[in-house]
Structure 1
Amino acid sequence: MVGPWPAAPYTFRALRKTFGSMWLRCDSCRRFAPLRLPPGYLDRDYRTVSFSCSVCGGVAEHTVTHPHTETGMDDYREDVREQPERHPKAHARILGADRQPGRASEFVPPADRHKFGRR
């Protein structure tokens, strides 16, 4: 008989238990990096967390497959930096410096942002 599932659903811990290693990929600058999460992030809902590229500041997609195993992604380069720093554009976005009053992203609940293409 199988015991209870050790991780809450929709968490990074559940993804790691199911798929193993995970990666972040940036389609703008065609780079990828292994996803290294601090222990506190393992129990977060992966559907509400967004990532940004430390090279170009664009949106980084979370993936459970190695980019070189996907068709058409063999030209992606691995970012091997140990401690990459946050891109200034992404840092400003996180702090809210680039927001203008009245933007729709301020009024859409976080749980519904994926429906409108916003992260």
Structure 2
Amino acid sequence: MGGRGSYAAGNNVEYTYKTVGMVDGVKILQGIGNKHGLPESSHSSEAYIKLKPDGTFHEMRFYNKEHVLYMEIAYHPEQALTGNRHTPILHYHLYDDKFSKNSTGPFHRTKAKVLSKEMKQKYNKFFVGVE
């Protein structure tokens, strides 16, 4: 995937992600260079996955029909949910594209919420290495 998958002003843009695998039809992306997160937009995929270096699930982002990020599921410490900075927990954030005074970017992100039982069942196949 080039510079968020783009072709700018008739010039190819350097790749910032590479596909390193698949989980149930969803691409696992790895950043190139200093890119560590998943993209805010997608050209064709409805979701992307990022794994930790040990192969454990780290996060998954979901994109709407306009290819814009709308939800993220993550597995890492979230102090607001666990009370500490050490215990990883499956949680999610919802995004909208309205700029917020409290936001540093073009998206507003909700506070972390614990995955419901239904969400865990629906997305469990993607949670590689998570108990």
Tell me the TM-score normalised to structure 1 length.
Answer: 0.26
Of structures 1 and 2, the one with the larger relative CO (CA 8 A, separation 6+) is 1
Q: Which has the larger radius of gyration?
A: 1
Tell me the TM-score normalised to structure 2 length.
Answer: 0.24
Structure with greater proportional strand content: 2
